[in-house]
Amino acid sequence: MKTSATAASLSFRVLRTLAVLLLAACGRAPGQSSSKQATDPAVAKLGPEFASAGAQANGITLHYVRGGTGPAVILLHAFPEDWYEYHKVMPRLATKFTVVAVDLPGIGGSTAKPGGYAAADLADDIHQLQQQLHVEHAYVVGHDIGGMVAYALVRRYPNAVRGAMILDVPLPGLAPWKEITAKPFSWHIHFQQVPGLAEELVAGRQAVYFRYFLNPQYVSDADVARYAESYAAPEHLHAAFEVYRAFPANEKFNAEQQSRIDVPLVLVAGSESVFSKDLPTMAEALRAHGCTNVKTRVIEESSHYVADEQPGIVEEFIEEYASVL
């Protein structure tokens, strides 16, 4: 028999989940596109120097939020978030950099495509965006899925970037990827790779599913509802899972890269993240594959979603490594 305290806690969790679902429902009518408009209140809150726009890249529209002046910094988000993942760090970065936060293809305001969700293909899309926006010599920051794309961008277009920061993610095909994906906490990778199944089970329940990953201490119910909207359209949810189904292609691509790369790389993990203890192994794997300039850093009192949990430290790290002397 449950105690009254336990019952109260359970009731609170149920009510919070219902609130998230209602927020998601109110934000989007059935069949409505999830494209982010220039009037997005989240963009307005960043400050008058920021604007939301779209650019053509490889036949699709990539949505981005841009602000500030100075050397370019491109921000690539994680699953299950969108450009808004970086909203806590963007205003401060914009005082010294041109900041471009992108919705990856098929997410939020970026249109989905029929295929090409391997990290190398997504990197090509980002490079096309760089050319459209004339931010060729950018510093690239990628978290989780975004980190995989950032590394592929360095490999495919090393002359287009001046450095990359890879936030709290192992790289497919490089040690200790196999050991990590064999552990129980990687269950979602395997679930999301099953063709069609994840779409059927998650569709209409995005807010509930995303809340599992996003700590309510740092990510509000309104923010979860926002992310649910970004993945609400069937083609957008499908795109998100296609990214995971492309991991075998990422493994092959990364394992084959052996050429010398002098682009500075910084591997970052939260001190409470399951990946923090693997940082030395990840760095050595990159060095063994030709990366000559690899550093590691740890963000204290943070788990996986570092930009949500410790935005001040993330901003300091980016400023430290992205600055052009």
d(CA 311, CA 43): 17
Residue 254 pLDDT greater than 80, yes or no = yes
pLDDT of residue 145: 98
Specify the pTM.
0.89
pLDDT of residue 169: 98
pLDDT of residue 23: 40
**Mean pLDDT across 124-131:** 98
Residue 284 pLDDT greater than 50, yes or no = yes
pLDDT of residue 147: 99
Residue 20 pLDDT greater than 90, yes or no = no
Average pLDDT, the chain: 90
Percentage of the chain beyond pLDDT 70 is: 88
Domains of the chain (ranges; CATH) run 4-322 (3.40.50.1820)
Q: Are 241 and 107 in contact (CB under 8 A)?
A: no
Residue 13 pLDDT greater than 60, yes or no = no
pLDDT of residue 2: 37
Give the side-chain half-sphere CA count within 13 A for 55: 21
**Mean pLDDT across 272-298:** 98
pLDDT band, residue 16 (cuts 50/70/90): very low
pLDDT digit string (tens) for 21-45? 344 333 333 223 334 444 789 999 9
pLDDT digit string (tens) for 101-123? 999 999 999 999 999 999 999 99
pLDDT of residue 324: 72
pLDDT digit string (tens) for 54-112? 999 999 999 999 999 999 999 999 999 999 999 999 999 999 999 999 999 999 999 99
Q: Which residue has the higher pLDDT, 268 or 18?
A: 268
Q: 200: burial class by Cβ within 10 Å (0-12, 13-18, 19+)?
A: exposed
pLDDT of residue 14: 37
Q: Which residue has the higher pLDDT, 324 or 207?
A: 207
pLDDT of residue 8: 37
Token pair of 272, please? 């409470």
